[in-house]
Structure 1
Amino acid sequence: MHRTSARSLLLTVLLSTATTAQAGWNPLAKEKAEDQPAATNKAAETIAAFKNKDPGIKVFFDKAYGYAVFPTVGKGGMGIGGAYGKGEVYERGTQAGTSSVTQLTIGFQLGGQAYSEIIFFKDKTTLDNFKSGNFEFSAQASAVAITAGASADADYSNGVAIFTLAKGGLMYEASVGGQKFSYTSN
């Protein structure tokens, strides 16, 4: 009888967490045209924040074929977790489209956090793969948390370099593995 109660409690917690995580979250919703300038400003502010935290990251902006900027990625979970964010994609320094990132995780995790993420694409082939709309990081993908000088030791892996900057919250699990991206051109 005790096992049945524990299973019922666990199932209730998992279902309520999954339902709560999805409440008000519509990753398929399209941005309105009038929201574009605000999004561009947030991307510019995010780029400035990364450069301010680690001026050495400028080398990646200068040499990368393209990059994607996600001003805010929200992540939360309790056993089952998820993350979502919207961003902009740049090709050779010019805004080429928008992107969204989603992530579903299962395993030990607890809490919530918000962070900014920038993904650099080393070459046209890697960016084109991202723009195909079905881009996904493997479970082994890792990001460099931006601190002063962090970019000096960073390098590309499979054509991408990933950097994150914490905005707030506390979560006992932090990874970019399993992130999936959609892309919409301008």
Structure 2
Amino acid sequence: MKMNRFNQWTITALLLLILSSFSSADFIKQPAEVIDAEANTAIQQFYKEVKGGEAFLSKVKGYLVFPSVVKAGFVIGGKYGEGVLRVNGKSVGYYSIAAGSVGFQMGAQKASYIIAFVTQDALDKFIRSNGWEAGVDGAITVAKWGAGTDISTISYQNPIYAFVFGEKGLMYNLNLEGTKFTKLNR
């Protein structure tokens, strides 16, 4: 089926409108101080939205905080964000999260991610890696709790848990397989 010029322009304009809804700062590499400040805000939001979240993070060996991961696409899509690895509450490294996808998709969204390393072995493997891919270098269990749900029932049997949250609480049906994490020089 051929697409006429009007449809091409309409789709292009719609995609540009969606992408422009995110501030240009979302696509600029942030300095460490900015990432840390935004991560602190995201953690406070996590504590507020996820009952038991503070107790959970206090028990894990370390966690990545990506305060703003932008996902956008029109047939071909991608996501990107920058964040910080915290161990014992201190920033020990900065990372990017990125993934691409192909298929029926249109739109954009922004969310915060926390990826918690429950075991020391999982944390050590992540830190030693020179680029880490979910599903290849480690399996991530995506939390499927809704906003306001108490997560204190987590069994801690899996080595890595991911939480995706935003304005409406945790988001369902997220797949992190194939997502790449890369260490940043900050």
Measured in 1, the distance between the counterparts of 2:140 and 2:120 equals: 20
Residue pair 2:142, 2:163 contacting (<8 A) in 1 also: yes
Q: CA RMSD in A?
A: 3.6
Q: TM-score, normalised by structure 1?
A: 0.73
- Cα displacement (A) at 1:95: 0.9
- Alpha-carbon displacement from aligned partner over 1:117-175 (angstroms, at most 9, x marks no partner): 0000012221122221321112985533651125245455751110011248xxxx843
1:114 correspondence with 2:110? yes
Scaled by the length of structure 2, what TM-score is found?
A: 0.73
Superposed CA offset, 1:36-64 (max 9, x none): 22221111111000001123012221110
Q: Is the 8 A contact 1:130 1:183 kept in 2?
A: no
Task: In structure 2, list runs of 5 or more residues that go unmatched.
Answer: none
The percent of aligned pairs where both chains have the same amino acid is 27
Could you say what secondary structure the match of 1:151 adopts? Answer: coil
Select which of 129, 133, 136 maps to 2:133: 136
**Count of residue pairs brought into register by the alignment:** 170
Specify the code of the residue in structure 2 equivalent to 1:176: L
- Would the aligned equivalents of 2:79 and 2:98 in 1 still touch at CA under 8 Å? yes
Higher helix share: 1
Gaps of 5+ in 1: none
- Tell me, in whole angstroms, the C-alpha distance in 1 between the residues paired with 2:132 and 2:48: 29
